[in-house]
């Protein structure tokens, strides 16, 4: 349902949030622990830095760390930083008679709005807390949810 880029960004952010506060991790360590291809992760990390969700530190002890506390980062912040969910603004069928969205496309856009609202209302801290309660299986659960797997 959501892109691979979003899944990888959520993996990286949940991993960074679950590490010691203020600790910087290099992209190789993040890629290895999150099972995200290093080249792909580099682009995602750059987008997260630009969005000020993470910070990048140079030097021998450098790397990446959260830019603010996990309680102040919503899942929608992460999504919008790497691959915003497109909204339906006009008829995807190109029907000139549909000046406004038809009932089907209005309902689809309403569903997208609901997803955005739920992502906005869920913080990184909540995701980390829930993963601690289920034995650290957060990456697996997030991946399955994004793919739409039934558990």
CATH number (domain holding residue 34): 1.10.10.10
Closest by CA to 11, choosing from 23, 22, 3, 21, is 3
- Expressed as residue numbers, the domain containing 57 is 4-147
Total domains, the chain: 1
Cβ neighbour number for residue 55 with a 10 Å cutoff: 14
Structural contact between residues 9 and 48, judged by C-beta atoms closer than 8 angstroms: yes
The residue ranking higher by pLDDT, 90 or 24, is: 24
Task: Please state, in angstroms and rounded to a whole number, the distance separating the CA atoms of residues 102 and 95.
Answer: 10
pLDDT value of position 135: 54
Average pLDDT for the chain: 85
Strand-pair partners of 55: 65
56-82 average pLDDT score:
93
Res. 91 pLDDT band, cuts 50 70 90: confident
Res. 94 pLDDT band, cuts 50 70 90: confident
């Amino acid at each position: 349902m959501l892109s691979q880029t979003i899944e990888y960004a959520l993996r990286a952010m949940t991993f960074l949030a679950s590490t010691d506060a203020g600790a910087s991790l290099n992209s190789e360590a993040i890629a290895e622990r999150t099972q995200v291809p290093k080249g792909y992760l580099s682009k995602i990390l750059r987008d997260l830095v630009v969005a000020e969700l993470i910070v990048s530190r140079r030097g021998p002890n450098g790397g990446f760390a959260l830019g603010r506390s996990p309680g102040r980062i919503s899942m929608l912040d992460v999504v919008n930083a790497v691959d915003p969910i497109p909204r339906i603004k006009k008829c995807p069928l190109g029907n000139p008679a549909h000046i406004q969205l038809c009932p089907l496309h209005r309902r689809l856009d309403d569903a997208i709005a609901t997803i955005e609202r739920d992502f906005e209302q869920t913080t990184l801290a909540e995701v980390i807390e829930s993963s601690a309660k289920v034995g650290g299986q957060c990456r697996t659960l997030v991946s399955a949810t994004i793919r739409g797997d039934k558990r």
